[in-house]
Every structure is written in C-alpha cells, then in structure tokens.
A and B are shown apart, each in its own frame.
Chain A
Amino acid sequence: MTPDDEDLIRRRQRDNARVTALILGGFVILVFAITIAKMAFAQ
C-alpha cells in the first residue's frame, strides 16, 4: 500500500466518521422530538 493509498483511506475514514456523527446526532434529536410530539398529542 502506497502512502497515497493510506492517505485516501484516512481521508475516507475521517469523512465517514463525520457523516456518521451527524446522522447519529440527527437521530438523537429526532427521537427526542418524536417523544415530545407523542406526549403533546396524547394530552
């Protein structure tokens, strides 16, 4: 594996980690919002 390949792998891993973090963050907010919405609707 060349240094360029290693760079590419690191870059992809970094990008993927960022996107995963964003998706997980969005999911947490969504679950929180669903919970509040369901509570509000039940009342």
Chain B
Amino acid sequence: MTSLPVQETQRLPADWRDLFALTKPRVMSLVVFTGLCGLLAARAPIHPVIAFTAVLCIALGAGAAGALNQWYEADLDAKMRRTANRPLPGGRMDRQSALHFGVGLSVFSVILMGFAANWLAAAWLAVSILFYVLVYTVWLKPRTAQNIVIGGAAGAFPPLIGWAAATGDTPLLPWLLFAIIFLWTPPHFWALSLFVRTDYANAGVPMLPVVSGIEVTRRHILLYTLPMIAAALAPWALGLAGWIYGLVSILLNVIFLGLAIAVARNRATEPAGMKPEKKLFGFSILYLFALFAAIVADRLVLS
C-alpha cells in the first residue's frame, strides 16, 4: 500500500484501552452473537465451559483479525474521518505493537480453540482470520470494487466455527448460515458506503459507489438482496428449520426487500437525502441479529 506514513508516535507504552480498541469491539458483538447462535443451533451436548471457551476463541480470533486489519490499514485509516481517531492513525501506539498483538492473539485463539473444543473448529477459525487479513484486507480491498462481495466470507465463518466447535462436523445448515451472512454483507456495506462514499473516495478505496457510481450501487443492493433472501428462506424451505424460523424469516425478508426497493428508487446524491440507505443499513444489523436468534429459538423450542 503506498500512502502517507502514519504520524510519528511518542515512545509511550500502549494503553490497554487502545489495544482493546484495536480489536474492533463493536464488530465483535455481531461475530460473537452469530458464533454463539451456530453453537446453540447445533443442539449438541456441549459442556458450558467448553461452549464459553469456543465463543471466547471466536471473539479473540475476530479481535486479532481486526487488529491486523488496523495494523495494515493504518495509513488508509488516517485519511478517513470515520477511522482517523483509531489508536494507530491517532498516534497513540506504534505499529509494531499492533502487529505483535494481532499475531499473538491469532495464534493464541486458534490453539486454545483446538485444545478446548476440537481442531476442526480451530482450523476454520484460522481460515477465517487468514481470509480476513490476507484475502480481504491485503488483496481485495485496495484492488477491486467487488471487495465486499468476496470479502463477505470473512465475517460469515463464526456460525460455522460455532457449529464445528459443538459437533466436530459441518453439515448443510451451518453452511446455509454462512451463506446468509456472506450474501447479507454486500447490501449491508454498500448501503453504508453510499452515505460515506466521499470518505472512501478520499482514501482511494475502490468501493462500488466510488468506482461505478451511486445508481449502479443502488441497483446492486437490490440485486444482491434477492439471493440473500433465497439463502435466508432456505433452512425453512429445506426442512432444516421449523415454522418459528420460517415466519420470522419471511417477515424480516419482506421488510429488507421493501427497504432495498426504497434505496433503488432513491435519487438523492448527497448523504443528507439518503434516508433509505441509512434505514437499510440500520435495519440490516437488526435483521441479522433477529434471523439468527430465530434459528436458535426454532431449533431449541421445536426440538
């Protein structure tokens, strides 16, 4: 990455709060939740301590990937208002500490998962960290407008890892949960990227609204919503989940589709007029939480 160097840091020891901020705690909440849902939806007899450790490892792995992402993108983050105050661009810690922290936490989370749960879950955890750091952060994000489409897989691993930790196996349902997050990521991020596109443009990140324009992005949001809906209905349609999930899924997907249509019909070009995009972005987070809560409720109640 060729960009301006991050401002020189003073030689102060990094504060633990900054190390914690490196792990992107807000993003982690969704990762932990979907991982926990994967683990619970598996309906396998798992000791609560092992279940807790598995979810902890998923959280630590996600935190490690977030730290390595911030280490690699420090120069980029410095150029964007949304990220300029992160510990590295803010000059509150040096890059080497972030790198050591990220690598150490990655290795620790994978090894702990292997010993506590099983090595299949540990292997998927390692794959998810490597995918996020190498495939998404290093390779795709700075090069292609499709970065979010393929990179979405990075955030889709937690339910698969949770399921693997509980059962030592990965049958069709956890892969469908993977597919839901994978296909949910583009409309979710493109909605965000529409109203912060100047940030991405200033930083030189080839997000879809920057490269192809606002209208194309809006059409893509609607287009990608359709396979996402198909994936979200699949567990119920294939008989892997019952009526509770089916009902919640239909309701959530109808709302999501309605909001995606509103986005596709919006003609505003300034962030102030992008209420449909902001609504879709906000709802998409609720959508994923509610959908995964529904699959767990369905599998536990109807079992």
User: Using a CB–CB distance below 8 Å, which chain A residues touch chain B?
Assistant: 5, 8-9, 12-13, 15-16, 19, 30, 33-34, 36-38, 40-41
Q: In the assembled complex, how far is the CB of residue A12 from the closest CB belonging to chain B, in whole angstroms?
A: 5
- Contacts A34-B116, A37-B47, A40-B47; is A13 near B16 (CB within 8 Å)? no
Q: Which of B224-279 contact A (CB under 8 A)?
A: none
- Contacts A40-B47, A41-B47; is A34 near B15 (CB within 8 Å)? no
Q: Which of B102-151 contact A (CB under 8 A)?
A: 115-116
Q: Which of B1-52 contact A (CB under 8 A)?
A: 12-16, 47-50
What number of residue pairs across chains A and B have CB atoms under 8 A from each other? 35
User: Using a CB–CB distance below 8 Å, which chain B residues touch chain A?
Assistant: 12-16, 47-50, 53, 56, 115-116
* B50 & A34 in contact (Cβ 8 Å cutoff): yes
Cβ-neighbour of A30 out of B14, B15, B53 (below 8 A): B53
Q: List 10 A-B contacts (CB under 8 A).
A: A5-B12, A9-B12, A12-B13, A13-B13, A16-B13, A16-B14, A33-B49, A34-B49, A34-B50, A40-B47
Q: In the assembled complex, how far is the CB of residue A37 from the closest CB belonging to chain B, in whole angstroms?
A: 4
Cβ-neighbour of B16 out of A15, A34, A36, A38 (below 8 A): A15
A30 CA / B116 CA spacing, docked (Å): 10
